[in-house]
Amino acid sequence: MTDMNPGFFGRIGIAFGAFFGILGNAAFAGRVQRLREAPEAPEAPDFAAEAPKPAAAPVQPAPSVLKEASPIAALQLLGLLQRDARFIDFVEEDIANYSDADIGAAARLVHDGCRAVLREHFTIKPVRTEAEGSRVTLQEGFDAAAVRLTGNVVGKPPFNGQVSHRGWKVEDTRLPKLAPSHDASIVAPAEVEL
């Protein structure tokens, strides 16, 4: 089950994915726009406030232990995106008063810088090798972490559908090594011109 209230670094990952998904996929951008225009969904139920189950209820398996992600690598990536693509500057800029042409020109520079960072520090390959739009059959036991089913999901595998996004998988990471004294929370130092 997806966390309905992801932490700060989880939201960074969601923001990156949404940002690049919107830039590269018009259909996804349209779905995001419709979602943003939809009325606010009701709050998710607070399961923690529910009464405990009676002793006669079957024993539930213990939830798997979640490992905590290292914020250092996320901060390091954010710093690289800022250094080479001015990513934070772009996202933090209030673009309401800019023309679409100005925003497009800025987005092109940010896109080029982000692409350079990704290609220098990661080996990224599609999860699915088929072209988008191809028909596929997912047999029982398919990797649900690598393939998300969308649309009218009913029944059990095999599932027949169409690849709407090939997905991305990182095969290699090459982030620079950091000195022990390096403060990764400073993703872009302030600049003072003399």
Express each pLDDT in 167-181 by its tens digit: 999 999 999 999 999
Instruction: Provide the residue ranges of all domains of the chain, joining segments of one domain with +.
Output: 64-126+168-194, 128-166
Measured CA to CA, the distance from residue 74 to residue 177 in angstroms comes to 14
Nearest partner of 23 among 149, 86, 95, 114, judged by Cα? 114
> Is there a contact between 133 and 162 (Cβ–Cβ < 8 Å)?
yes
What's the predicted TM-score (pTM) here? Answer: 0.61
Q: Which long-range contacts (CB under 8 A, 24 or more apart) does 66-72 make?
A: 69/9, 71/9, 71/184, 72/178, 72/184
Mean pLDDT is lowest, of 26-35, 98-107, 153-162, 181-190, for 26-35
pLDDT higher at 7 or 192: 192
Q: What is the pLDDT of residue 1?
A: 46
